[in-house]
Structure 1
Amino acid sequence: MKLLSSAYVRRLLHKKYVAVLGDSVNKDLVQILQNDDIWTGKQLKGKGDKSFANDTTDQQLVGFYFLTHVSSEYKENVLANFQHGPQPDVVIINSCIYDDSRYHEQSLQMYKNNLDHLFIRLTEVLSPKCLLICNTSMSVEFKAKGNFYSTTLADLHQLDVIDLHFHLRFKLHSRVNDATHSNQLAHRKYTCILMAHID
C-alpha cells in the first residue's frame, strides 16, 4: 500500500467540502489533514469528542453526520442543509452497522426500503458534480447482511462503492475488543483507499 501523506490529502481536498453520513467516525481523515501521524489507541476510545486533532482548517471542510438509522428526521434535516448550501463536493455514506445489527429478520425489508429512499433523496438534493461514495462495513464479527443490500442498491443508483469488507477481509487482527470497530491502522488503510478513489 502506497504511503499517504498529509500534504497530498490537503492538496486533494483543497477547497472541498466532504460530508460523511453514518454511524462510524473516520477520525483518521481529520488526523491526516493535520499531519502524517497515526492517531493513538487512547484517541480511538474517545466518544463524543467536541474536537479532535486540532480539527480546524481554512482550506478543507469535513462534516460528520451521525446516523444510527437510515430513516430519521435528522437525516432529512441534513439533506435540507445540503439543499440550501453549501453543497458537498464529496458525500461518503458509511454502512449503518447500528441498523444492520439491530434489525430483526422481518425488518430487513424496511431497512432496504429506507436505504433506497436515502439514495433517491441524495440524488435529488445534491449537485450532479458531487461524488457519492457508499462504503460497506469493515470486517466485523457478526454477519453484516446490509453490505450486500447497500452495494446492490448503490450500484442501481449509480453510486460509487468502496468495499471495505473486501479490502480488510484478511485484517481480522485489526478489530478492537468490541469486534465491531477497527483500530487506527485499519482506518489509515481505509483513508488510503478513499483518497485513491477520490483522486
Structure 2
Amino acid sequence: MKSVSHQQACQLLHNKFIVVLGDSIQRSIYKDIVLLLQKEKYLSLRQLRSKGEMSFEQDCLVEGGCLDEMHNGTEYREVRQFQSAHHLVRFYFITRIYSHYMHSILEDFRNGLKPDVVYVNSCIWDISRYKSSSINDYKENLRKFFNELNGILPKETLVVWNLAMPLGERLKGGFLVPEIEYKASQLRSDVIEANFFGGTLADAYGMDLLDLHFQFRFSLHHRTKDGVHWNAIAHRRITCLLLQHTAQAWGVIMPCPLTAIEHPQVTNQKSACESATKVAEDCCPTKRSSSGCGDEFSSDTLPDGCFNFENNNPRQQTYRPKAARTCRRAAPPQPLQPLHRHPRRNNADSSSPHYLEPYREHHHQQVMRNRHTRRHYAPYTQHGPTHDPPHGWYD
C-alpha cells in the first residue's frame, strides 16, 4: 500500500478541522494523526497504552481523563485536542454510539465550528457492556446517530465510518470487566454481525465506509496480546488508509514517496534500516516480498530505524526474466499537488474547485461503498496566526 508522509499529511489537512469519535482504538488513530502532522515517527508502546494523560505530542486534555476519575466504566470521558496554526484535531472517547453524551457532542457541532472530516466508530463497547438486548439497541442507536449527524453537518463534510477490527479468541481488554466475561467467546461473531449492519446503514445514510476488519484480516500478527488493540505499525497503516481515502474524496492526487520513519525506541541494530535504505536506493524487484506486503509488515515488532510502505500488489506487477531485470535508482519523491480550495461562500470572487481526479469505484478499493466527490473548502481563514494559539477550544 502507499504511504503518506508527514509533508503530505500536513498539506492535505491544511486548515482542516478533523474529529475522531470512538473507543481506545480510535484514540490511537487520533494520536497517530497528531504525531504524523508533526514528525515522521511511530507511536511508542507507552503512548499506545496511555489514556487520559494531560498532554500528548503538544495536544491537551480538554475534559475527563486524569482531570476526573480514571476507570473502565461506561461513563468514562476523555476529550483531547491538538491545535496548531493550520491544523485542528479533536478526539471524543465514547462507549455508545448514541446517548445523552453523544447528543451533547452533536450540539457542539451544531452550535460551533463544523468539522471537515469525521472518523467515527463505536461497536465493541455497545454490544458488550450494556444489557442483553445490546445488539438491537446498537442498531437503533446507529439510526439515531446517522440521522442527527446528517441534519447537523454540511454536505461538504466527509464522514468515514470505520468498521471494527477483528478480535482475538481470548480477550483481555479493559472494557472486558468480570461481569461480561461470559460474552467474550461470542463477541468475535457479534462484531461481524454489527459491522455488516453498521456498514449497510452507513451507506444508506451516505457515509463513506472503511472496512478495517477486511483490511487487517491477514495482519493479525500486529494485534497485541490482549486480542483487542493493535501495534504502531497497524495504526500507521490505518492512518494511511484514512488519509488516502480523504484525498481521493477531495480529488487530491498524492504520490507515493519512499519515506523513512524513525521509531522512538531505536537500538544499535540497524539491519532493518539498512535493508530498507538499500531497497529505496536500488529499487531492486528481487528484494520485494512475494506475499504482497513488505518485509516490515511480516513481523510483530517495529523496525529498528525506518519503515517503508510500498505498493507491492502482486496483481499489478509484471513478470520479467531474471536476466532482463535491471536495478535503477529510484526517482525522487514528487511533491504533493497543491490543494484547490473553495473560498468562503460570501466571497464575491469565489470560483468552483477543480478536481484533479474523479472519485470512482475502481480508484479506491479500501471502502465497501464510494460516495460522490466532496467539495474541497476551508471553513475558517487560511492565514493562521504567526504563533501557535493557546490550547483550548478553537474560537
Determine whether 1:86 maps to 2:113: yes
User: Which amino acid is the alignment partner of residue 161 of structure 1?
Assistant: L
Contact 1:34 1:54 in 2 (8 A): no
Deviation at 1:103, TM superposition (A): 4.6
TM-score by length of 2: 0.49
Structure with bigger strand share is 1
Aligned equivalent of 1:194? 242
- 1:105 CA drift (Å): 5.4
Residue number in structure 1 paired with 2:99 = 72
How many pairs does the alignment contain?
199
**Could you tell me the TM-score, scaled by structure 1's length?**
0.95
> Are the counterparts in 1 of residues 127 and 134 from structure 2 also a CA contact under 8 Å?
no
Identity %: 42
Amino acid of the structure 2 residue aligned with 1:197: H
Structure 2 match to 1:129: 156
Secondary structure class of the residue paired with 2:88? strand
State the match for 1:47 in structure 2: 51
List alignment gaps of at least 5 residues for structure 1.
none
Q: Please, which moves more after superposition, 126-135 or 94-103?
A: 94-103
Counterpart residue number, 2:20: 20
Q: Return the alpha-carbon distance in structure 2 between the equivalents of residues 10 and 127 of structure 1.
A: 23
Tell me how far 1:49 sits from its aligned partner. 2.0
* Cα drift, residue 38 of structure 1: 0.6
1:32 alignment partner AA: L
3-state SS of paired residue (2:133) = helix
SS of residue matched to 1:149: helix
Q: 1:5 — aligned with what?
A: 5
Q: Which moved more, 1:115-124 or 1:143-152?
A: 143-152
Q: Which has the higher helix share?
A: 1
Instruction: Provide the C-alpha distance between the structure 1 equivalents of 2:205 and 2:3, rounded to a whole number of angstroms.
Output: 32
User: Displacement of 1:54 after TM fit?
Assistant: 2.2
Per-residue deviation, residues 58-88 of structure 1 (Å, max 9, x unmatched): 2111111111011211111111110112000
Asked if the contact 1:16/1:89 (under 8 Å) is kept, the reply is yes
Does the 8 A contact of 1:95 with 1:146 survive in 2?
no
Gaps of 5+ in 2: 60-82, 169-187, 248-395
> Which residue identity is paired with 1:92?
Y
- How far apart, in 2, do the equivalents of 1:156 and 1:171 lie? 29
CA distance in 2, matches of 1:103, 1:150: 18
1:78-103, CA deviations, whole angstroms, 9 ceiling, x for partnerless residues? 11110112000011112332113335
Give, in whole Å, the separation in 2 of the partners of 1:86 and 1:61.
11
Q: State whether structure 2 residue 140 is matched by structure 1 residue 113.
A: yes
Query: Which one-letter code corresponds to 1:127 in the other structure?
Result: P
Which residue among 11, 31, 35 is the counterpart of 2:39? Answer: 35
| CA apart distance, 1:108 | 1.3
Offset at 1:44? Answer: 1.0
Whole-angstrom CA distance in 2 between matches of 1:96 and 1:48: 21
Q: Deviations over 1:141-166 (max 9, x none)?
A: 22313211210110111110000111
1:48 Cα offset (Å): 1.0
Which residue in the other structure is 1:169 paired with?
217
Are the counterparts in 1 of residues 224 and 230 from structure 2 also a CA contact under 8 Å? Answer: yes
| Inter-partner Cα distance in structure 2 for 1:170 and 1:104 | 32
| CA–CA separation in structure 2 for the residues paired with 1:104 and 1:81 | 29
User: Equivalences for 1:130-145 in 2 at 5 Å?
Assistant: 130-141=157-168, 142-143=188-189, 144=191, 145=193
Which residue identity lines up with residue 210 of structure 2 in the other structure? I
**What code does the residue aligned with 1:44 have?**
L
Cα shift at 1:9:
0.3
- Rg larger in 1 or in 2? 2
Taking CA–CA contacts closer than 8 Å with sequence separation of 6 or more, which of the two structures ends up with the larger relative contact order? 1
1:98 aligns with 2:125: yes
